[in-house]
Chains A and B, each alone.
Chain A
């Protein structure tokens, strides 16, 4: 883990942190870790969180199939109805939630998302799982952990720990929807609607040095 120092207020163009081959390697490594931790991934169910988590879960499933030679059940989860900030924006369109036919009862559910940030999305996903079934255990795999957790949540499998300031925005691009694979970090624009960004703007003095959260390694 490298120490991170904010360079100040000068706006920077987004720069690439991970490229296509990095992302491919990361997905393969996470797949191996899942097999290792879950002792062969016998009862694993992958659930991707919309939008990019679904595509990552699909890639992870392909790698797992290469490694274990078995088809891992794959589903998609839309957590919109469980969000805690629904009242801050007009009602949003829903995405398709798909639970694999075998269900999740007694299985090891691995949630897959692109960026782990405040942890609120994962909190909502855990609430959604609660209504869908009772897994044996729930684990979390993310491509990027950018820190700044607002809830006691951590990832079990992390593609890359990416220390950031609240002023920055992390953008994951995947070939399936964005035309190419990349992880970019740049300055957050003023249109950013996150409560954190707004808070950071209000008390910009504090936001310059966010208390470095303890990141899992």
Chain B
């Protein structure tokens, strides 16, 4: 595996399976009385969140604590960032404090890549969502959830499974990471959205695009509903919410058109009544709560694989440097 996790495209087929298989073992730990492993003792992980997030930050924090890492939460609000500090200076500060890994969420697409490619930080960089670009750990937990339902078993991928992602593809980092990872794992992905919410250049993505939800329902094993990200919308992408909801929302009638074994997924936060009705959200076929639990396991797996062994492997001088500092 690479030293950083910035994009789902960084993961080879083997890397992705290794993470999913490791996550299966991590899931067992979460079921024990003592939900803690000593594996990352003495490692420091900084959660650097420039954008609001409860779900992802909490999930990472739980994962880090279950692996016994020292956790530092750094949010833009109330930090020196609000006083005008640049990303570089923040990173240099964290490096000086000895961060072994930085989990970063940033409103600007590419901020994690900038951090990973710079020499500001020597630790691993894990992308927890950057702008409208990527959110690789979300894609991993979605793939993990799909595999548990559609192709259970260690070492198995999602080949031949059909995944449909519906909603605001344009602003969705979840959709982009999912398309890349699911294609790596062999699944067939179809994006469904109004033409205005399909990103430019989508024809180069490894997936199909449809504008009609009803026509793809019967050919779907996993249906992923996305939230319409109003906060990122600066133009009129569709006439009314009501019209969007009628054409692209999931109600029990549409859920009935899915094959018997199909699951309904949502990365959260859900807007009930908009992209998903309360009836569907509360149905046993909806895996939203399960996805949250799986998120902890998958993030534990990623943290273990990036930090659990010898790190800084790219630096030949590491052994001397590490030995002298410890």
- Chain A residues with CB under 8 Å of chain B are 78, 81-82, 86-97, 127, 130-133
Q: Is the CB of A94 within 8 A of B22?
A: yes
Of residues 20 through 58 on chain B, the ones whose CB sits less than 8 Å from some CB of chain A are 21-22, 25, 28, 32-34, 36-39
Cα–Cα distance between A88 and B33 once the two chains are bound (Å): 30
Q: Which residue of A lies closest to B41 (CB)?
A: A86
Of residues 292 through 326 on chain B, the ones whose CB sits less than 8 Å from some CB of chain A are 304-311, 313, 322
What residues of chain A lie closer than 8 Å to B307, measured between beta carbons?
91
Q: Is the CB of A87 within 8 A of B310?
A: yes
What residues of chain B lie closer than 8 Å to A87, measured between beta carbons?
309-311, 322
Interface of B is mostly: loop
Q: Please encode chain B, from 1 to 33, with 1 for each CB lying within 8 Å of some chain A CB and 0 for all others.
A: 100000000000000001001100100100011
Judged by a CB distance under 8 angstroms, whether B154 is at the interface is yes
With A94-B22, A94-B25, A96-B154 known as contacts, the answer to whether A86 contacts B37 (CB < 8 A) is no
Q: Which residue of A lies closest to B18 (CB)?
A: A93
Q: Is the CB of A132 within 8 A of B37?
A: no
Q: Is the CB of A91 within 8 A of B36?
A: no
CB distance from B198 to the nearest CB of A (A): 38
What residues of chain A lie closer than 8 Å to B154, measured between beta carbons?
96
- Chain B residues with CB under 8 Å of chain A are 1, 18, 21-22, 25, 28, 32-34, 36-39, 154, 304-311, 313, 322
Cα–Cα distance between A97 and B311 once the two chains are bound (Å): 25
Cα–Cα distance between A133 and B32 once the two chains are bound (Å): 9
Number of A-B residue pairs having CB atoms within 8 Å of each other in the complex: 51
Q: Is the CB of B33 within 8 A of A133?
A: yes
Q: Which residue in B304, B305, B310 is a CB contact (below 8 Å) of A89?
A: B310
Cα–Cα distance between A105 and B33 once the two chains are bound (Å): 12
Q: Is the CB of B308 within 8 A of A91?
A: yes
Q: Which residue of B lies closest to A87 (CB)?
A: B310
Q: Which residue of A lies closest to B309 (CB)?
A: A91
With A87-B310, A88-B310, A132-B32 known as contacts, the answer to whether A93 contacts B38 (CB < 8 A) is no
Cα–Cα distance between A81 and B1 once the two chains are bound (Å): 18
Q: Which residue of B lies closest to A98 (CB)?
A: B28
Cα–Cα distance between A207 and B252 once the two chains are bound (Å): 74
Q: Which 8 interchain pairs have the tightest Cβ spacing?
A: A91-B309, A91-B308, A90-B309, A131-B34, A94-B25, A81-B39, A81-B37, A91-B305
Q: Which residue of A lies closest to B31 (CB)?
A: A99
Cα–Cα distance between A146 and B32 once the two chains are bound (Å): 34
Q: Is the CB of A93 within 8 A of B36?
A: no
Q: List 23 A-B contacts (CB under 8 A).
A: A78-B25, A81-B37, A81-B304, A82-B37, A82-B38, A86-B308, A87-B309, A90-B310, A91-B1, A93-B21, A93-B22, A94-B21, A94-B25, A95-B25, A96-B25, A96-B154, A97-B28, A127-B38, A131-B34, A131-B36, A132-B32, A132-B34, A133-B33
CB distance from A104 to the nearest CB of B (A): 11
Q: Which residue of A lies closest to B25 (CB)?
A: A94
Q: Which residue of A lies closest to B326 (CB)?
A: A87
Cα–Cα distance between A133 and B31 once the two chains are bound (Å): 13
Q: Is the CB of B313 within 8 A of A97?
A: no
Q: Which residue of B lies closest to A88 (CB)?
A: B310
What residues of chain A lie closer than 8 Å to B313, measured between beta carbons?
90
What residues of chain B lie closer than 8 Å to A131, measured between beta carbons?
32, 34, 36-37
What residues of chain A lie closer than 8 Å to B304, measured between beta carbons?
81, 91
Cα–Cα distance between A151 and B195 once the two chains are bound (Å): 67
Cα–Cα distance between A189 and B25 once the two chains are bound (Å): 33
What residues of chain B lie closer than 8 Å to A81, measured between beta carbons?
37-39, 304, 308
Q: Is the CB of A89 within 8 A of B18?
A: no
Cα–Cα distance between A93 and B38 once the two chains are bound (Å): 16
CB distance from B305 to the nearest CB of A (A): 5
CB distance from A89 to the nearest CB of B (A): 5
CB distance from B144 to the nearest CB of A (A): 15
What residues of chain B lie closer than 8 Å to A132, measured between beta carbons?
32, 34
CB distance from A1 to the nearest CB of B (A): 36
CB distance from B35 to the nearest CB of A (A): 9
CB distance from B163 to the nearest CB of A (A): 26
Cα–Cα distance between A66 and B46 once the two chains are bound (Å): 55
Cα–Cα distance between A211 and B281 once the two chains are bound (Å): 68
Cα–Cα distance between A132 and B322 once the two chains are bound (Å): 32
Cα–Cα distance between A19 and B38 once the two chains are bound (Å): 39
Q: Which residue in A91, A97, A130 is a CB contact (below 8 Å) of B25?
A: A97
What residues of chain B lie closer than 8 Å to A93, measured between beta carbons?
18, 21-22
CB distance from B326 to the nearest CB of A (A): 9
What residues of chain A lie closer than 8 Å to B21, measured between beta carbons?
93-94
Q: Is the CB of B309 within 8 A of A92?
A: yes
Cα–Cα distance between A92 and B39 once the two chains are bound (Å): 12
What residues of chain A lie closer than 8 Å to B28, measured between beta carbons?
97
Cα–Cα distance between A21 and B79 once the two chains are bound (Å): 70
Cα–Cα distance between A134 and B269 once the two chains are bound (Å): 40
Cα–Cα distance between A94 and B309 once the two chains are bound (Å): 12
Cα–Cα distance between A131 and B313 once the two chains are bound (Å): 31
Cα–Cα distance between A97 and B306 once the two chains are bound (Å): 21
